[in-house]
Structure 1
Amino acid sequence: MTPEQLRDVVRTAVAAAVERGGLAVPVPDDVVVERPRNPEHGDYATNVALRLAKPAGQPPRAVAEAVAGRLREQPGIAAVDVAGPGFLNVTLARGALGRIAVDAVTAGPAYGHTDALAGQRLNLEFVSANPTGPVHIGGTRWAAVGDALGRLLEAAGATVTREYYFNDAGAQIDRFARSLVAAAHGGPVPEDGYAGDYVGEIAAQVVAAEPGVLELPEADQQERFRVRGVELMFAEIKRTLAAFGVRFDVYFSERTLHETGALEKAIARLRENGHVYEADGATWLRTTDFGDDKDRPLVKSDGDPTYFAADCAYYLDKRSRGFDKVVIMLGADHAGYVGRYRALVAAVGDDPDANLEILLGQLVNLVRDGRPVRMSKRAGTVVLLEDLVEAVGADAARYALARASVDQQIDLDLDLWSRQTNDNPVFYVQYAHARISSVLRNAADLGIALGEPGDVDTAVLTHERENDLLRALGEFPRVLTSAAELRAPHRVARHLEELAGTYHRFYDSCRVLPRGDEETTPLTVARLWLCSATAVVLRNGLGVLGVSAPERM
């Protein structure tokens, strides 16, 4: 019996108590079921009686006794004790806990998935690095976390579109084009331009594709290097991200907002809503009406639209595509952006709390031999995604970046994450999966099969280490759901590490396969189901993080 199943059982018990007149309260939609810190207190605990006491007008312990009486009648429940001010400690019947293993194996890739976020249509925007250089380490963190979050939200039932917004218009693109032209002519980098070997590489590719480009007038050269350079740079960005296991459903071009009149339509809507005014030759949005620290320009005095105007148009475009909520992942250096974006959402008539979510992530520092790693072979002054993957591998890079809460700065030790030892968290988790795979291969060589789900005797799983492992497996659906709701993929990684440690302790204490001439027993088969279930959860959890689950290491 999983915690989710026990929640339903508790709700059934509450409903029975209400029906029999012991309680006069509405049956709660949600019941909290948790593992007690002390295993001697039972398999699970719930505070449902404490929550119902006030609406019932009764002391919590009286409510707890009423619910406990009905709960003891439910199948799969061995004992229910009332503890403290009114907690219910539940001990499952022999075999009930063991069914978690059967449920996990039977569900396979779907185990842990819920419908907690069913019906939500989310647009998840992450990375969105400008096509003026390769993906750096900050963008790499968002690639790992954003992709994991997308998988996590889907596991909780949401419909997710992953979107990459590339700023292929504006001043930074002009600077990039000038840098390419200078590199193609062998000249110095413009004062406000882009440096790094990649600029010369892209410039050479443009010249190779268009041999006569350097003979064109200066303005035409600038345009050809802009168009072709952005195209080549963005192709490399997409290739690099794909090699990292990150793909997007939509790549949205900022230029399309300028070319389709979307900016003018957005400003017109804001004007109709009464939030636009003219001052100093510019057009402004009165964002201070919605909590921003100052009003923001939409059109500059020279007639050019601002980036903020494009943001308004882009937000409206997303909403027009039917998304309930726009989720945007940004670096901590964009913290000042939150207030103005919330203001524009309110100005178009939406609710910033319901229709917008901005996640801010802290920096990543790379360390080797105790010293910061600062330089890249290609970019010169920053570390790139490819540099990190080259140093530790894609699996370790993704796991390391998704393992920490995004609001924490990471000092990522390249020596640690490249080791094939148990102090490397991703190796520790992957090794548990590989160890189980070896056990299952050996079982197959011995001719021992799992058999049918209905034939396994889970009541024989009574060892303390077996029960610890079953409880950890049963927690997985709750971990996925809470991680999705909190936008916290790192919770999945931490659960996997706990699960791997629990499995290793089980393996050291409980022999799975017979030795020599020993007979295969029901306990052998039950423990194989437990091993298989653990492999399912490790595989599913690593899959959420975009990390492989190797069968051999």
Structure 2
Amino acid sequence: MTPADLSLTVLHAVRRAVDEGALRVEVPPRVKVERPRAGGVGDYASSVALGLARPAGLDARAVAAILRERLDPHPGIRAVEITGPGFLNFTLDEQDDTRVVRRVLAEGLRYGYSTALSGTRPRLRPAAEPRAGLVTDTVLRLLRAQGADARLDPDGELIPVLPVPCETYETYEAIGDDAARWALLRPAAHHLALAPAPLLVQHERNPLFRVRYAHARAHRLVANGAQLGVTPRYEQPVDAPRLLTLLGDHPDVLLSAARLRAPDRVARHLESVADALLAFQHTVLPLGDEKPSAAHRSRLALAEAAGTVLAGGLSLLGISAPDQI
């Protein structure tokens, strides 16, 4: 169960409670889930009960209890707990990792695409300034990946972007399309673009290099695994919680980036995936006299899934993901 799936599950619980008369409130359009804050437990938490308490005329913990009755048990959710003034805390089924990895490998570069915004028709205003035009084009791509009928319209929404002085654009053009796109899309739209020169250095201090290198490493691991007779197949849990969490979060990141018109969220997420994969890569294949096992096949499947997420995310930003660096 991804965060997006969990959000829909909680929303369905609210709707069910309203339909059954347990809550008398207007069903919200969506429910936010996030990592637990201090004092929370489990994998994810939601403050939905706090938001519904006043219109329902109930204490927030009472609302949370009503929702917990409709969430526990539920496929993919091992436990639901109430903490603090009424936060719902979710511990997911351990087998959820298996579903995430298999889903990534099954959906490929389209993992994270959804129909969450189907029925919406965002209209974005064309931008003459190059950076603004690039951000607008990328946001259109993100919106369409979530099912929106997104198009350019002279009277549409304007995405405010901090412009780059015209005289410096020649410098960005000189570093190539991939590096230029990263320099202009990685910072939030209201922040300065990144300096171009460091993005050409093949070093771990260069975040674009790390992301593309991590993708190339995943590709090489699969190739090396084939030579050793190790086929990627997720058969048993892998001790890589950070990487697994990031892969599970990917659909929610893409959806929030589309809703908030914020491609930088995708870029930051890819950096995190890359760093987690690079830290994990050394454990993937057999070492020395080790014989290939289910553990190696599962680790290789996880590495391949991480490489797939990196390639898909870069594609949405219009940046290439080479197999070799």
Q: TM-score, normalised by structure 1?
A: 0.54
Q: How does 1:318-467 map to 2 (within 5 A)?
A: 326=153, 356-364=156-164, 382-385=167-170, 387-390=171-174, 392-410=175-193, 412-451=194-233, 456-458=234-236, 460-461=237-238, 463=239, 466-467=240-241
CA contact (8 A) 1:147 1:545 kept: no
1:498 and 2:272 are equivalent in the alignment: yes
Helix, strand or coil for the counterpart of 1:363? coil
What is the CA–CA distance in structure 1 between the aligned matches of 2:157 and 2:20, rounded to whole Å? 45
> Aligned runs of 1:15-34 on 2, under 5 Å?
15=15, 17=17, 22-25=22-25, 27-34=27-34
Q: Kindly indicate whether residue 291 of structure 2 is the aligned counterpart of residue 552 of structure 1.
A: no
Larger Rg: 1
1:539 aligns with 2:311: yes
Specify which of 462, 472, 488 is matched with residue 262 of structure 2: 488
Post-superposition CA distance 1:112-163 (Å, at most 9, x none) = 11223323445545454xxxxxxxxxx442343233222112112223445x
Contact 2:131 2:164 in 1 (8 A): yes
Question: Per the alignment, do residues 538 and 64 of structure 1 end up closer, same or farther by CA in structure 2, a change over 3 Å counting?
Answer: same
Is 2:139 aligned against 1:149?
A: yes
Q: Does 1:468 align with 2:238?
A: no
Q: Provide Cα deviations, 1:265-311, integer angstroms capped at 9, x if missing partner.
A: xxxxxxxxxxxxxxxxxxxxxxxxxxxxxxxxxxxxxxxxxxxxxxx
CA separation of 1:551 and 1:26: change in aligned 2, threshold 3 A = same
CA distance in structure 2 between the partners assigned to 1:159 and 1:63 by the alignment: 36
Secondary structure at the aligned position of 1:81 is classed as strand
Could you tell me whether the CA contact under 8 Å between 1:2 and 1:97 is conserved in 2? no
C-alpha contact 2:11 2:31 (8 A) present in aligned 1: yes
Structure 1 SS opposite 2:160: strand
Alpha-carbon displacement from aligned partner over 1:165-204 (angstroms, at most 9, x marks no partner):
xxxxxxxxxxxxxxxxxxxxxxxxxxxxxxxxxxxxxxxx
More strand by share: 1
Q: Which runs of 5+ in 1 are unaligned?
A: 129-138, 163-325, 329-354, 366-380
Partner secondary structure for residue 364 of structure 1: coil
The within-5 A match list for 1:173-212 is: none
Could you tell me which residue of structure 2 aligns to residue 97 of structure 1?
97
Letter in 2 for 1:457: E
CA spacing shift, 1:36–1:543, aligned 2, 3 Å: same
User: In structure 1, how many angstroms separate the alpha carbons of the residues matched to 2:34 and 2:315?
Assistant: 25
Note if contact 2:49-2:61 (Cα within 8 Å) is conserved in structure 1.
yes
Q: Provide Cα deviations, 1:500-550, integer angstroms capped at 9, x if missing partner.
A: 122223335xx1112244333333222222212211211111111110111
* DSSP 3-state at the match of 1:361: coil
Partner of 1:524: 296
User: Could you say what secondary structure the match of 1:357 adopts?
Assistant: coil
Contact 2:39 2:83 in 1 (8 A): no
| CA positional deviation for 1:393 | 2.3
Deviating more after overlay: 98-107 vs 393-402:
98-107
TM-score (norm 2): 0.89
Partner letter of residue 435 of structure 1? Answer: R
SS in 1 for 2:292: coil
Give the 3 Å change call, closer, same or farther, for CA 417–22 of structure 1 in structure 2: same
Give me the CA root mean square deviation: 2.6
Instruction: Report if aligned partners of 2:247, 2:309 keep a CA contact under 8 Å in 1.
Output: yes
Q: Give SS of 2:147's match.
A: coil
**Residue type of the alignment partner of 1:359:** I
Q: Percent identity?
A: 42
3-state DSSP of counterpart to 1:45: strand
Confirm or deny: 8 A CA contact 2:61 2:82 kept in the other structure: yes
| 1:8-87 correspondence runs (5 A) | 8-15=8-15, 17=17, 22-25=22-25, 27-37=27-37, 41-87=41-87
Q: Distance in 2 between matches of 1:39 and 1:522?
A: 37
Q: Specify whether residues 83 and 445 from structure 1 end up closer, same or farther in structure 2 by C-alpha distance, changes over 3 A only.
A: same
Amino acid at match of 2:212: Q
Shift of 1:361: 2.3
Tell me the distance in 2 between the aligned counterparts of 1:431 and 1:37: 33
C-alpha change, 1:17 and 1:127, in structure 2 (3 Å) is closer
Q: Is the 8 A contact 1:97 1:467 kept in 2?
A: no
Contact 2:81 2:89 in 1 (8 A): yes
User: Any stretches of 5+ residues in structure 2 without a counterpart?
Assistant: none
Query: Is residue 218–residue 307 contact of structure 2 (8 Å, CA) maintained in 1?
Result: yes
1:98 and 1:470 in contact (8 A); partners too: no
- Superposed displacement of residue 97, structure 1: 3.4
The 3 A distance-change label for structure 1 pair 97 and 38 is farther
